[in-house]
């Protein structure tokens, strides 16, 4: 169990619990603790669990918990709640392409219910869009060399990892 700095506790579930369809985030009262202390259970794959010590893991997980709580109309208009499968996809994608010392990305809600993952670090821009409906998109640009990448599928994790490694190799957090 991973305790967040906020009032929430995050329970990292096993793959077997994931297959049983435990929801991505569910708030409930703790049975053995203060009944008013919320617990948030977050479903995380076994592959992602090994990255729980990564510098980006806790901030990203806290952001996903916050995004999961966004109600309909969170944008001041009629945006739907964020699609839970896209929140799970963020962790799956980061588990594949990010390293433990990769700088923490910004995770942004999209008005269609999807999410976007961004890094803007020292003249390097990487954006991965995971729309609620449709195929994800990847864009990267190295402003130092003016080289861009936008023809890589989000499903091609090996290529994504290669571009991320190349662009962020000198941007890693200490």
Model confidence over 72-89: pLDDT tens digits? 999 999 999 998 888 888
pLDDT of residue 134: 81
pLDDT of residue 112: 95
Neighbours of 111 (CB within 10 A): 12
8 Å CB contact between 137 and 154: yes
Q: Model pTM?
A: 0.75
pLDDT of residue 61: 85
Residue 66 contacts by C-beta under 8 Å, 6 or more apart in sequence? Answer: none
What are the residue ranges spanned by the domains of the chain?
Answer: 2-168
Q: Within 13 Å and on the Cβ side, how many CA atoms surround 150?
A: 9
6-24 tens-digit pLDDT: 444 555 555 555 556 665 5
pLDDT of residue 34: 45
8 Å CB contact between 40 and 50: no
pLDDT of residue 25: 57
pLDDT of residue 31: 45
Query: Among all chains, which residue has been given the structure tokens 């603790």?
Result: 33
**Sign of the torsion formed by the C-alpha atoms of 96, 130, 83 and 21:** negative
Q: Which residues of the chain have pLDDT under 50?
A: 1-8, 28-37, 173-174
Residue 72 contacts by C-beta under 8 Å, 6 or more apart in sequence? Answer: 78, 79, 80, 81
H or E segment to which residue 10 belongs: strand 9-12
* CA dihedral of residues 29, 33, 35, 39 (deg, nearest 10): -30
């Amino acid at each position: 169990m991973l305790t967040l700095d906020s009032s929430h506790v995050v329970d990292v579930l096993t793959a077997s619990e994931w297959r049983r369809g435990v929801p991505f985030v569910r708030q409930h009262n703790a049975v053995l603790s203060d009944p008013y202390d919320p617990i948030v259970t977050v479903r995380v794959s076994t592959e992602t669990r090994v990255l729980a010590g990564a510098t980006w893991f806790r901030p990203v997980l806290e952001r996903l918990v916050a995004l999961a709580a966004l109600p309909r109309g969170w944008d001041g208009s009629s945006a739907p709640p964020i699609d839970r499968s896209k929140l799970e996809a963020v962790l799956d994608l980061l588990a594949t392409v990010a390293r433990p010392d990769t700088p923490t990305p910004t995770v942004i809600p999209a008005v269609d219910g999807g999410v976007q993952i961004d890094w803007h670090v020292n003249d390097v821009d990487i954006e991965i869009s995971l729309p609620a409906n449709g195929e994800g998109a990847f864009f990267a640009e190295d402003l130092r060399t003016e080289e861009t990448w936008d023809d890589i599928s989000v499903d091609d994790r090996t290529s994504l990892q290669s571009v991320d490694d190349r662009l962020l190799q000198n941007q890693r957090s200490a």
